[in-house]
Amino acid sequence: MTGIDGRKTRVAAALSMVSVLALAAACGGDDTGPGVNGDTAAKVEINRDAAGDITANGGARRLDGDQTRAIADSIQRSKAKNVILVIGDGTANQELTLARDYQWGAGGQIPGIDQLPLSGDYTTYSLNKDTKKPDYTTDSAASGSAWATGTKTYNGAVGVDVNGKAQRSILEIAKANGRNTGNVTTTELQDATPAVQVAHVAQRKCYGPVETKEKCASDALSNGGPGSITEQLLAARADVTLGGGWKTFQQTADAGEYNGKTLEVQAKERGYQIVRSGGELDGVTEANQDKPVLGVFADGNLPRLWDKATATKEGGAEPAVTCAPNPAFGATPKLQSLTTKAIDLLKGDKGFFLQVESGSVDKANHDADPCGQIGETVQLSDAVTAALEFAKQDKDTLVIVTGDHAHTSQIVETGSVTPGLTRTLNTKDGGLLTVNYGTSLEPGEEQHTGGQVRIAAYGPGAANVTGLTDQTDPFFYITDALGLDRAKQ
């Protein structure tokens, strides 16, 4: 919107935020510490379950009385000691609704996620590399680069702008400012979302030296570049790095200080504590720049928590299914335990920045697999719950939860004839829920969509997520909340 009407809208939005912040101050919060009544935000419980019988008047309402004080208390102040950014890859409102309806009921709440008191939406478009105009449907590399660096870029780019210039990430800046740092995912550590915090390459598939020479040769160490994603990950040296992707660590460096050595050997020579199981991770007692932790729990992506129930062209006529555990998950550490361990290792006087990703909500969505998708949203919920529990005890931690882009899954009327692939599930409510995947007729080929995505938060600085923002905004308010000097090397 432009002109007088646009200015009026912006002024109204600014005045609305001023009113909210003034209310927060009146209720005891300020910008330097707890107000005269103390920090009451940790005592505020935001319960979003429906109140009772959803067939009765008021039975489906989620608000328990006036929320003004609760919201004001949750704003607290704008500076934080720690920030935990939790990402559900490919997790927009339809994915959250699907998981809630199936696992917790239509009137239920997603633990952790639905309890975050402040929320908004952000725009996710990327850029066309050639025309520099908006690309309305982003991928995970461009979207992750946006929040990690504050810079829009093209699909496939990791930590570089539309012209290929490297952009510093929150994790890199936090480390330069003396903060502890962590990077946790259920995918390969080289995948786009974890990679954007530690690497700068022209193409997201440049996992190791082999792929880098083929797909983004100018980034290869042998050509004077910064190296593959894995080589840059090791050089970035986060205090805690947990995920999958062990296969790439078996590749051999072909240039630089570690020429002729595998990336696994390089990690060991760099002083990393390498752990390959949840039990080994449990035994780790410290993580720092002298002894950073590298936990890699699968050759590729970590297995999904729940087994597949792939949608089909005839899904509307097939019997409804109930999701089941994935036998292949086995002893794989769950995202909640990885999150809790990372927090335990990072917390301390320095403060920390931690990014956590439930990455296979997206991958199951691509596969038209609603059960796999919901199971990974359950993992997302559990990770947020762990982060929120810590934040409420710590009282100096900002927790932000969002997705990186919208996806294809849609809840449709059971029994309707729809294009695409469908599957019907038996829900907690005892009803039938049908999900449709309409961007491809082939499982594995479902595509992202271009909608804006929910973002929610709790703790100091949480008010910045409210209203409509852009995906680049978190870079700025996270580094501001932590009091980081963005120019510090």
CATH number of the CATH domain containing 352:
3.40.720.10
Judge whether 35 lies within some domain. no
pLDDT at 13 over 90: no
| Rounded (5°) CA angle 482-485-489 | 125
Decide if 408 contacts 419 (C-beta within 8 A): no
**Is 39 within the bounds of a domain?**
no
CB 360 within 8 A of CB 194: no
Residues 6+ apart with CB under 8 A from 65: none
> Can you tell me the mean pLDDT for 207-235?
98
Cβ 175 vs Cβ 238: under 8 Å:
yes
Tokens 């020429």 appear where? Answer: 259
CA 325 from centroid of its chain's CA atoms: 23
pLDDT band at 39 (very low <50, low <70, confident <90, very high): low
β-strand partners of 406: 449
Within-domain flag for 396 = yes
Residues of the domain holding 421: 83-481
427 neighbors 421 (Cβ within 8 angstroms): no
Active-site residues: which are they?
140
pLDDT at res. 15: 40
Is position 340 within any domain? yes
In the sheet where 467-470 sits, what is the strand order?
Answer: 273-275, 293-296, 240-244, 180-188, 352-358, 82-88, 397-403, 453-458, 118-123, 467-470
CA–CA separation, 464 and 473 (whole Å): 9
CA separation for the pair 449, 408 (Å, rounded):
6
Does residue 119 lie within any of the structural domains? Answer: yes
Burial of 149 (0-12, 13-18, 19+ CB in 10 A): buried
Residue 323 predicted with pLDDT over 50: yes
What is the overall mean pLDDT for the chain?
A: 91
Beta strands in 256-404 (DSSP E): 273-275, 293-296, 352-358, 397-403
Residue 139 has pLDDT above 70, yes or no: yes
pLDDT in tens, 96-134: 999 999 999 999 999 999 999 999 999 999 999 999 999
**For the chain, how many structural domains are there in total?**
1
Confidence at residue 8, expressed as pLDDT on a 0 to 100 scale? 42
Q: Read off the pLDDT band of 45 (50, 70, 90).
A: low
Select from 405, 393, 402, 406 the least CA-distant residue to 475: 402
In a domain, 75, yes or no: no
Integer Cα distance of 347 and 350 in angstroms: 8
Is 5 inside any structural domain? no
Q: In a 3-state reduction of DSSP, which class is residue 293? A: strand
Strand locations in 260-381 (E):
273-275, 293-296, 352-358
pLDDT above 90 as % of the chain: 82
What tokens were used for 472?
């680049």
| Beta-carbon contacts of residue 436 (< 8 Å; ≥ 6 apart) | 311, 409, 410, 411, 412, 418, 420, 421, 422
Strand locations in 286-334 (E) = 293-296
pTM across the whole model: 0.92
pLDDT of 142 strictly over 80: yes
Identify whether 368 is part of a domain. yes
